[in-house]
């Protein structure tokens, strides 16, 4: 076992039927959980102040930042890819489009869930 794999938390999930879902559950989810604080810190450093106190508008601003900022997207993806083994990187490269889509979606959900509890606090 690669040292990077040994660092990952164990996450119990339902058995996966598709290879993409298996990769997501066995590789991406544990790395996202392991790197959560790093991802949130990097995102926070690159996120401008919210334009509104309304959660729906803040959510939209976060979503747009993740989807439309190539620097931030590459930075956050690099944090995840850097924790993969060489074999996992090869698999990621073979199905890059699907895995990148899944990764971006999970990153967005993780960041939104981090910020959502803050919606009730005064800004």
pLDDT in tens, 2-38: 787 878 778 877 777 899 999 999 999 999 999 999 9
- 99 within a domain of the structure (yes/no): yes
Per the structure, the count of domains in the chain is 1
Contact yes or no for 61/98 (Cβ under 8 A): no
- 5 within a domain of the structure (yes/no): no
Predicted TM-score (pTM) of this structure: 0.86
- 100 within a domain of the structure (yes/no): yes
Q: What is the pLDDT of residue 120?
A: 53
- 4 within a domain of the structure (yes/no): no
Contact yes or no for 85/5 (Cβ under 8 A): yes
- 89 within a domain of the structure (yes/no): yes
| Residue 102: other Cβ atoms inside 10 A | 17
Q: Which domain holds residue 77?
A: 69-116
Residue tagged 């489009």 (tokens): 97
- 6 within a domain of the structure (yes/no): no
- 34 within a domain of the structure (yes/no): no
- 111 within a domain of the structure (yes/no): yes
């Amino acid at each position: 076992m690669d040292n990077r794999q040994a660092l990952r938390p164990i996450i119990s999930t339902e058995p996966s039927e598709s290879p993409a879902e298996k990769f997501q559950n066995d590789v991406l989810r544990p790395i996202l959980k392991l790197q959560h604080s790093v991802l949130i810190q990097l995102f926070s450093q690159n996120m401008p102040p919210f334009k509104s106190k309304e959660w729906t508008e803040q959510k939209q601003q976060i979503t747009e930042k993740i989807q439309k900022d190539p620097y931030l997207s590459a930075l956050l993806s690099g944090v995840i890819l850097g924790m993969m083994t060489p074999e996992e990187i090869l698999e990621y490269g073979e199905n890059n489009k699907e895995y990148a889509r899944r990764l971006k979606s999970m990153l967005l959900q993780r960041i939104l869930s981090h910020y959502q509890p803050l919606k009730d606090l005064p800004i």
